[in-house]
Amino acid sequence: MNEESEMSTMPDDVNDKINSGRQTLSMSRDEPDEMEPRRVPPAVIAAGVGAAIVGLGLLGWLLYRSRRRRTLMQQLQASLPDRVRDLRELQASLPDRVRDLRELQASLPDRVRDLHELQASLPDRVRELRGVGDDLLERLRKAV
């Protein structure tokens, strides 16, 4: 009889589980509002978007106010054409160029003397080369 009582409890357990499942299903049908996900009201979304726009506007205004302002001279220099800037740079480098030209002028007589010496020694140097005759030497003299 002990086995019989155990066997009778097993179908009862299955029936209890089935009944509890049905009860859960009936409860879920009765309260459909609790099953839907929560929704954010449109007014809250609009307020969030408005706050974001105001925040971006304030950030833009702060960046605008903190920009570096240029002086009147800087504004004028920026408005000048590039050629005027080039003239200023040329004016700055002009003393160096004048000094270089004066040094070149001072060394010019020495260079001219070196050229005359080279021209005078040319026939002797050309004769030292093999295969150079008097005809080619005359042509070189005319060219120089």
d(CA 134, CA 142): 12
Instruction: Please give the pLDDT value at position 131.
Output: 66
pTM of the model: 0.28
Q: To the nearest whole percent, how much of the chain has pLDDT over 90?
A: 12
Query: Is a pLDDT exceeding 80 seen at residue 13?
Result: no
- Helical axes 82-128 vs 134-143, angle rounded to 10°: 160
